[in-house]
Amino acid sequence: MPAAIITKDEVLSRLLEVFRRDGYDGASLAEISRATGLGKSSLYNHFPGGKEQMALEVLAALGASLERDLFAPLAAAGPREKRLDAMLEAIDAFYDGGNKACLLERLAASVDRRPFSRPLAAAFTRWMGAIEALAIEAGVKGAVAARRAEDAVVRIEGALVVSAAMGETGPFERALADIRATLLEP
Amino acid sequence: MPAAIITKDEVLSRLLEVFRRDGYDGASLAEISRATGLGKSSLYNHFPGGKEQMALEVLAALGASLERDLFAPLAAAGPREKRLDAMLEAIDAFYDGGNKACLLERLAASVDRRPFSRPLAAAFTRWMGAIEALAIEAGVKGAVAARRAEDAVVRIEGALVVSAAMGETGPFERALADIRATLLEP
DNA sequence: GTCTATAATAGGATAGAC
DNA sequence: GTCTATCCTATTATAGAC
């Protein structure tokens, strides 16, 4: 039984899946242990701060992933519509076509949300800012661009909620299509 | 110590507040006992099925409230814009201007959501249907009306999520204003 | 770094007196 | 109908061996 069959990134990736599925309050250490394949003591070795630290590290890792896979491509060179499409496809994949929940929402809904307040607000602000920048670059006026960016994020989050509650992904698919069609309109 | 200082409706109302604030998994019997002023045994006397039955009865009571205070007025006589305004004001009040979460979302996010699946889907379907009917009555074409109704509910749910995560109610207020401005457009 | 074992507590639920 | 007292399980977390 030698060490580290699983990398820390992989651990964080599995923790992400547990938290987004069960929520912070609903995710038990037993389930976390099962999902990661690590015993409780191993978990406390990696995360001395317990579940709270796990969620905070997952949040930080997700932020880094988004920066690399979503926001950087959004601000890169190339046709604007292409970049918007790439973002929407990445979002579609990340949420599994509307079948998986949003970690930000799940952490924001936990009973003791204070430890997550700042990173959550920062994540949403960053997300909206990246979309807003693309809209502005496409010639949309500043105030309108900010409103549209907020609306896009609002629609994605709401569509995930409605899709989950109704047990069908139609609302999510339609929300993404709508954003694609209207975000960069003059 | 005589009986029933508190009515069952009042109990359900307090349960609603606990579940929407803490979520289903996050709401402990200890907190429920505190919020209702009833001991655990009293709670099990009223709700032999435990927490699950409490949530189901809260859901049913909320459905009845919505039917009476939201959907019936929406389908009543009078100017259509007035009725839309009344609905939006009722929603604004129910969510305390974006400060309180949606029970439907909280129950849909619980680890064991199966007992709530049907009533949740029914509630969202009913809500969207009521809005759609108003839009159709205002002359909006059927397919467009259905899309707009879904979009309105999606925006409200998403705005609640984003407002909570960002710690400010701006997104919720803007979402309601946007719905008011666009839902009945020709 | 991981394991087994265990502590200590909080969780949901029940019994029985009043 | 409500209370106090209790049960049992699951929970988070730690100790100590390897």
Give the CB-side neighbour count of residue A119, counting CA atoms within 13 A. 21
Residue A3 belongs to a domain = no
For position B5, what pLDDT does the model report? 72
Distance CA A101, CA A113 (A): 17
Residue B131 belongs to a domain = yes
Give the CB-side neighbour count of residue B160, counting CA atoms within 13 A. 29
The answer to whether the CB of B150 falls within 8 A of the CB of A162 is yes
Residue B39 belongs to a domain = yes
How far does CA B183 lie from the centroid of its chain? Answer: 20
Number of domain units in chain A:
1
pLDDT over threshold 70, residue A84: yes
Q: By CA distance, what is B25's nearest residue in A?
A: A26
For position B112, what pLDDT does the model report? 96
Convert the pLDDT of each residue in B32-87 to its tens digit: 999 999 999 999 999 999 999 999 999 999 999 999 999 999 999 999 999 999 99
For position A1, what pLDDT does the model report? 37
Spanning CA of A40 to C1' of D12, the rounded length in angstroms is: 10
Residue A27: left (phi > 0), alpha (psi -120 to 50), or beta? beta
Q: Which domain holds residue A48?
A: 8-182
Distance CA A24, CA A76 (A): 34
Asked if the Cβ of residue B52 lies within 7 A of any atom of strand C, the reply is yes
Min CA distance, A159 vs chain B (Å)?
Answer: 5
Residue A18 belongs to a domain = yes
**Percent of chain B scoring above 70 in pLDDT:** 98
Residue B3 belongs to a domain = no
Chain B residues whose beta carbon lies within 8 Å of the beta carbon of residue A154: 155, 158-159, 161-162, 171, 175
What is the average per-residue pLDDT within B6-16? 93
Residue B1 belongs to a domain = no
Residue A2 belongs to a domain = no
Reduced to 3 states, what is the DSSP secondary structure of residue A79? coil
Reduced to 3 states, what is the DSSP secondary structure of residue B184? coil
For position B26, what pLDDT does the model report? 96
What is the average per-residue pLDDT within A173-178? 98
Nearest nucleotide by C1' position to the B32 CA atom: C12
Mutate which of B20, B22, B25 to disrupt the A interface (most A C-beta within 10 Å)?
A: B25
Convert the pLDDT of each residue in A7-66 to its tens digit: 999 999 999 999 999 999 999 999 999 999 999 999 999 999 999 999 999 999 999 999
C1 C1': nearest CA residue: A3
Distance CA A151, CA A149 (A): 5
Residue ranges of chain A whose CB lies within 8 Å of a chain B CB: 22-23, 25-26, 101-102, 104-106, 108-111, 117, 120-121, 123-125, 147, 150-151, 153-159, 161-162, 164-167, 171, 174-175, 178
| Residue with token string 């999606």 | B154
Query: Is residue A3 very low, low, confident or very high in pLDDT (cuts 50, 70, 90)?
Result: very low
Query: Is residue A6 very low, low, confident or very high in pLDDT (cuts 50, 70, 90)?
Result: confident
Q: By CA distance, what is B108's nearest residue in A?
A: A165
User: How much is the pTM?
Assistant: 0.96
Distance CA B86, CA A169 (A): 30
- Among A124, A125, A166, beta carbon nearest to B124: A166
**Percent of chain A scoring above 90 in pLDDT:** 96
For chain A, give percent helix, strand, coil, nearest 5.
Answer: 80, 0, 20
For residue A55, give the CATH number of its domain.
1.10.357.10
| C-alpha distance from residue B49 to each of B45, B54, B111, B115 (Å) | 9, 8, 18, 12
What is the average per-residue pLDDT within A120-128? 98
The answer to whether the CB of B115 falls within 8 A of the CB of B170 is no
- Among B121, B165, B178, beta carbon nearest to A165: B121
Q: By CA distance, what is B105's nearest residue in A?
A: A161
pLDDT over threshold 70, residue A2: no
Distance CA B128, CA B149 (A): 5
Convert the pLDDT of each residue in B139-170 to its tens digit: 999 999 999 999 999 999 999 999 999 999 99
Residue B98 belongs to a domain = yes
Convert the pLDDT of each residue in B83-106 to its tens digit: 999 999 999 999 999 999 999 999
Convert the pLDDT of each residue in A31-44 to its tens digit: 999 999 999 999 99
Counts of helices then strands in chain B (DSSP H, E) = 10, 0
For position B6, what pLDDT does the model report? 86
Lowest pLDDT segment from A1-5, B30-34, B41-45, B113-117: A1-5
The answer to whether the CB of B84 falls within 8 A of the CB of B159 is no
pLDDT over threshold 60, residue B2: no
Residue ranges of chain B whose CB lies within 8 Å of a chain A CB: 22-23, 25-26, 101-102, 104-106, 108-111, 117, 120-121, 123-125, 147, 150-151, 153-159, 161-162, 164-167, 171, 174-175, 178
Query: Is residue B4 very low, low, confident or very high in pLDDT (cuts 50, 70, 90)?
Result: low
pLDDT over threshold 90, residue A128: yes
Averaged pLDDT score across all residues of chain A: 95
Q: How far apart are the first and last CA of chain B?
A: 61
Counts of helices then strands in chain A (DSSP H, E) = 10, 0
- Number of cross-chain residue pairs from A and B with Cβ atoms under 8 Å apart: 121
